[in-house]
Amino acid sequence: MNSTDNGVVHDPSPSSVPETLQKLEAVLAARGLTVFARVGHSGEAEKIGLNMRPTQLLIFGSPKAGTPLMVAAPSLAIDLPLKVLAWEDEQGKVWLSYNSPEYLKQRHQVPESLIKNIAGVGALVQKAVE
């Protein structure tokens, strides 16, 4: 796991962007989490004649877990549902990137007692990149 000062965690994946997100979607489904959307940034770029390395964003979560957080810290709604970005770097390596729960806690002053509702995102990502 690689974390940067801006709160974004980057975990390497041995699979392609689509395969990595398929694995993540299976992990999420097994945990009963909802996938709200998959945004194909590179696919949309291609439609207008622009080139972009494979890049897709998965938006997911649980209203049961996320709503209490947004009630306690309304600005958190800009970062929820949770998002994981699958992207390929210049060397062809694939990464899953997401905001660390600790970063979101600090950014939105989320009460300590509620951060556990989203603290498992790292474990979900790790399962997807195994």
Q: What are the pLDDT digits (tens) for 83-118?
A: 999 999 999 999 999 999 999 999 999 999 999 999
Tens of pLDDT, residue by residue over 52-85, are: 999 999 999 999 999 999 999 999 999 999 999 9
How many residues are listed for the chain in this entry? 130
pTM here? Answer: 0.92
CA distance 77 to 61: 12
Burial 108-125 (b: 16+ CB within 10 A, else e): bebeeebbebbeebeebb
CA distance 120 to 122: 5
Domains of the chain: 8-128 (3.30.310.70)
Burial 42-68 (b: 16+ CB within 10 A, else e): beeeeeeeeeeebbbbbebbbeebbee
CA distance 109 to 105: 5
**Which pLDDT score, from 0 to 100, does residue 4 have?**
64
